[in-house]
Every structure is written in C-alpha cells, then in structure tokens.
Amino acid sequence: MANEILSYLPCYKGKRILELGLTSSNFTESLAQEANHVTSVGVSQRNTDGAKNHNNHLKNVTYASVADGKLNFPASSFDVIISNTFFNDINNENEVLKIMEDSLTWLVPGGSYFLLEPSASLNQVPAKRTDVFTPRTHTQYCHLILRARSCKSNFHIYKGKNFLTLTDASKRQNHVCFVAQKEQNTELDGVGLAEMDIRYSQAFIHKLEWIFGHTWVSTGGEATTREFCGTLGLKPGLKVLDVGCGTGGSAFFMARHYGVQVHGVDISTNMINIALERLGHGESRVRSRIQFEIQDISDAEYKDDSYDVIYSRDCILHIQDKVKLFTKIHRWLKPGGLLFSTDYCRGAGQSSKEYLEYEKKSSSAFETVASYGSILKEIGFKDVEAKDLAERFYAIQKEELEAFIPTKEAFIQEYSLQEFEDLVKIASNKLPWVKTQQFTWGAFSARK
C-alpha cells in the first residue's frame, strides 16, 4: 500500500514535512529522499527510538515523541503535514480536534494536510469509544477535519478515498484518506464545504433519493441503470471508472451484478461519505470491488489506458470545459475501451424565459445532444452514438413525479411542506420544457 499512498500525497519535493505517526521507517525514508526536511513524531518513545535507529543515516530527519510532550511547533513551520495512523490510538475526540487545529497553525498558508487512518463501518463502532483501538468512521474523520479552526483558517478537503489492504492472509482492513488545504476562513455555511457540498447537502441528497430511489440521484434510478449496464459488455474483472458516482447506486449495482472493479469519483464529500457508509454495510464481495474517491474530475490524473469502461450519469453538465475532460477520459480508456454517459442537455426548441432562468441558476454548462456528440468525435472517439431520449425522459419524469406526490404526508414528517412543494414545482416545470424541446436527456456512447 505504501506506493499507492506516496502517489496520493500532495507534492512534497523540496518541502518541509511533519510526519505524525511512525508506521514504517521505510515510509519516512521515502519522504526524506524528496523532502527538504522531515520531522517525524511517534506515538511512544520506543516507537520513536526504533525509527531513529533504523534511519540514523538520514541527515534531514529529526524525531520527536508524543510521550515527551514536544508536540509543539512555531506557526508556519511546515508545508505539508502527514498524519499516518496517528489518531487511532487517541480515544479523546477533543484531543484529536486540538491536534488538527494545531496543525492548521503549524502549516503555512495554502499548506497541505494528509490524513490516513484505519476506518470502520458504522456497524463496527460502539456508541461510545471504550477501546482505543476501535477505528473511527470516514465520516467522523471528515467532520473533524472540517470542524478544525485556527487563526481564522480552516481546512478545505479537495480529495480523499478508501484504501482496502490485506492485514494478513485473509483479513482485509479498510483505510480512509483525506487530502486538505489550509485556507482563509471565508466559507459561506460555516463548515468549510466546497460549493458542490453547499448545493448537495446531505439533506438534499436524501430528498433526491426519495424521488429516484435509495442510493440513486439521477433519472430512472435502478431501472435505467439496469437497462444501460446491460449494453456495456460488463464482465468480472473489468475496471470501470464511474464519473460523478453520487451516493454509489451504479457502482454498487455494477460490482454486485457484474463482478467488475469500480472506481467511483465525485466532487461532493457529502455524496462520498454517504457512499462509504453504505459500502461499510455491504457484502464483503462487493466491498472488495469498489473504491470511492472525493475528487474534482477536472483536476484528476489517472494512468493512461487504465479503464475498460468509463461511465457517467447526469453529471458532466456541471463541467465547464468538456473538451478538457473528454480528452482525459479518452487517454484513461484502454484501447477499444467504452465511454458511456447520460446527461441533461439543452433542447433544439426555442428557450423560454423561465427555462433560461433555470439554466442560469443551475450554474451548469448544457450542450445540445448534437454538440455533445460532436465534441466526442473531434477528440478522436470512434463509433460515437448520441441519442436524444426526450420521450423516454418525459415518461420517466412524469412517472417519478406521480409516484412522489402520494408520499406527501410521510415526506413532510421528515422535512417540510415547503420543501415538498419546491420539489414538486421543479419536477412539474421540467415536463413542459421537455415537451416543447427546450430541455432533454441524452445518452452517449463511444469507443477509443
């Protein structure tokens, strides 16, 4: 796992690093080979002395131990802080938060914070932590990072994922990783969330699932997923990248029913936290096939020729520079690999004032079905198919709305009448837009 972790770290070449948690002397040595200086902190004096003896040839590494009370550094001492299995032994949550807030002080403005910890699913965690070796969940770590405050600064999580590792011949241990950046405390909602997490709060996500179905946040839910996946030639062992995976509906479906390895990526920490919670409750055979990652796909970099299928449902409308994204996707696909995407599109009809206001408010970059297909051809994809699914879209939207309305009483017990009416209004408005060809739904497939 060490190489995978090193590849996921923020840039540390020539940087000053604080390493919290001496899990491996070899890991420290790998850091020291690239860094300007590494300060390594062990959880015990014995742990620290062992690492120091192993790496006494490294002149740019100094050591400290939590036990000797030296976990105190001047402000802006480090460019990168790496917390590697450091908090699992600390039972007191306030102590964990204090160290994270101190880390904000120790980091330079714009500095990077990397956390890797063993992670438990919710059904493995007692109501009260009595065993210091009981892992926290990914959600608990995420919330701790986002709660940290120091000197008008906070952390912004910009990527993260789960690592599944073998701890012995048969037992698998799940680890969670987050990468965050120190930034000025200017968030709008008081919790340091990115714009997409303001738009897609956990409450709003659960309201979408009320309409589309459990684990689904896009048109047609499981029914359309089952239909589309049946055309992709999926089989055990294939690697699938799920772009904009949301709460994991398609990833779970493909891993469970087709035996494929799925890498689900979404910019929303809320979406991924929900997906990871559900992954923790899933069957072991499914858990071993799925990795979820917090990542802005526009900034992502994966190895060329890595995926057999790249799949996306109703999310690329949020990407402004589609040429840049599809160029990357073309590179990431294996030769002969398949791209499949559905997306909301601007229709060929005359746009009304109401529709244009919706489009502006959504902050999305809608293409027409034809222009979407043209982009794929220009990039170099072969066998491009661009289908306008307007009639199907209208029927599904109408069916979902008609199924949602009778749930009014139960819905407002959990939310409110106003929220119910808002969702009904949004769905009702779309129907005439689809009917008059202002708004549509497209399905796109292409090969490398």
Note the pLDDT of residue 70.
63
Can you tell me the distance from the alpha carbon of 17 to that of 36, in angstroms, rounded to the nearest whole number? Answer: 8
Pairing of strands 239-243, 307-313: parallel
Residues 6+ apart with CB under 8 A from 142: 157, 160, 178, 269, 273
Percentage of the chain modeled with pLDDT above 90: 64
Can you tell me the distance from the alpha carbon of 82 to that of 66, in angstroms, rounded to the nearest whole number? Answer: 15
For residues 242 and 286, the model is more confident at 242
Confidence of residue 133 (pLDDT cuts 50, 70, 90): low
Write down all domains in the chain, each with its CATH number in brackets. Answer: 2-192 (3.40.50.150), 197-447 (3.40.50.150)
**DSSP E strand boundaries for 185-277:** 239-243, 261-266
**Digit-coded pLDDT (tens) for 73-97:** 999 999 999 998 889 878 889 999 9
298 token code pair: 């526009």
For residues 311 and 129, the model is more confident at 311
Q: List the helix and strand counts (H, then E) for the chain.
A: 17, 15
Maximum mean pLDDT: which of 145-154, 245-254, 276-285:
245-254
Q: Work out the average pLDDT over 423-434.
A: 93
Confidence of residue 171 (pLDDT cuts 50, 70, 90): very low
Note the pLDDT of residue 265.
97
Note the pLDDT of residue 89.
78
Note the pLDDT of residue 192.
36
Note the pLDDT of residue 104.
96
**Digit-coded pLDDT (tens) for 359-386:** 888 878 999 999 999 999 999 999 999 9
pLDDT at 169 over 60: no
307 SS3 class: strand
Q: Work out the average pLDDT over 210-219.
A: 91
Note the pLDDT of residue 202.
81
pLDDT at 201 over 90: no
Confidence of residue 123 (pLDDT cuts 50, 70, 90): very low
